[in-house]
Amino acid sequence: MKEVASGEKIESRKEMQKLLRHVEDQLYDGVVVMDIDRLGRGENKDWALIKDTFLNSETVIITPNKIYDLEIDNDDVSFDFMSIFARIEYKTIKRRMKQGKEAGAKKSMWTNGKPPFPYYYDKNTRSVLVDETKRPIYRAIVEKYLNGTNLGHIAIWLTDNKIPTPYNIEPDGKNKGSSNITVQRLLASEIHLGYITYGKTRSKRGQVELVPEEERIKVMGAHEKLKTPEEHEVIMERLLKNRMLNPNSRRNIFPLSGLLYCEKCGSRMRFRVGENKKQGQYWSALCYHQYKDGSKCEQHGKVMDADFFNALYDRIIHVDPDILREIELHGSRYSDTQTIIEVKEQELKKQKRALDKLHGSYEEDMITKQVFLERKAVRTRQIQKLEEELKDLRKVVVDEGNYPTVEQIYGRIGEFRELWDAAVTSEEKNRALKKLVERIVYDREGNRVELAVCYR
């Protein structure tokens, strides 16, 4: 088996996982490796997994110098020592590689893997060069954005023109097309200003975290610059002004955070902060969903002003009659299911009593063995059928029992009104809404906005 993945953790090594499954299934008598450290250089738990798998399946490990049978004490101890040395060697190699990359970065050398569009790394000269076929495309992206074209339209332009990107690549090698984030990263990159930055992130206990800027290595590189400092400043000002606030990265909580969904595509809607002289600061609800062909969802956004929230509040506290009928129907079905369960439980008790009497009749020689076995088979089938039916019915009861009653909805509405009236901050309003509402489905046609409320 060939594997090019990192040897640190088994969870990131697909071929190693496959090998261990084969060993566990006892498909091999032995596994041939050049050295023990080829099996892994990970943590103790990884080595314990490898050792247990080979030991339990009685599979030997074959190297050019020795055959390891882990059922033999000496081989078992040797394997443990080899695993420790492999881990130490791996840490040493990683430390030296890191030191080499840091030293290279300080000398303005490229040490960060594949450079961004439109650069490429020339192995012969060991330098980063510009792909001349891609240079005009990059400049077109910069100029379009500086001239007012938004990120989404640039992404669609790139996808429509089948211009590949270095970021959105699927596992099979196919290009998924450009996205707003792809364009944003490209425009914000300081590499095109001529800088090389090393050590933006670090791994700590298996988690990747950002390194503070003052701890990073940032130097002017030897590669060609593709935008001016003035252009970069304008780009960053516009990106900051029109930034998209992602739910996972924003600090601010909006009243409808995590609640508003688009009717047209089903995606969760996002919020953007804007400001003008007339309104001051305001929020807009927008759908940024992009389909696989690069086209954007056709949903139109809406400024969430006082009229919007007044209409939403009115929509929430006045429950749609259709929803009330649906809730009542669920309640009726719940009661009917409970009644059916009670009837089935009585029938099950009756069948079990009959089976007990059947055993008594056989023990007292009132019926023959043949008759006993025939009647027992019938009773047993009936009992099994009733138990299966009751199991299914109880699942239905659990599902329907989680559905709110009309009384519960009105009780929650009362609680919501109190919390909403007392709410001052956006976060408090968001908490009030989430007490009552599961999601709000948004749709806009022209100037008409439809809001469908789904209650918890």
> Can you tell me whether residue 445 is helix, strand or coil?
strand
Residue-wise pLDDT tens digits, 251-268: 456 788 888 999 988 888
Which option is the CATH number for 119-241: 3.30.70.270, 3.30.1360.30, 3.40.630.30, 3.90.1750.20? Answer: 3.90.1750.20
Tokens of 94: 């990683």
**Average pLDDT, 10 consecutive residues per value, the chain (456 residues):** 63 84 91 85 77 91 91 87 78 79 77 85 87 92 90 82 61 58 88 85 64 79 91 87 47 77 89 70 82 82 84 84 70 71 87 89 87 90 87 69 72 86 84 87 89 84
Q: What values do phi and psi take at 303, rounded to 5?
A: -70, 130
Look up the CATH number of domain 10-105.
Answer: 3.40.50.1390
Domain positions in the chain: 10-105, 119-241, 260-316, 321-403
Q: What angle do CA 337, 343, 349 make, to 5 degrees?
A: 135
Asked whether 304 and 282 are in contact (CB, 8 A), the reply is yes
Asked whether this chain's domains 10-105 and 119-241 adopt the same fold, the reply is: no
Residue 413: per-residue pLDDT: 86
Cα–Cα distance measured from residue 131 to residue 118, given in angstroms and rounded to the nearest whole number: 6
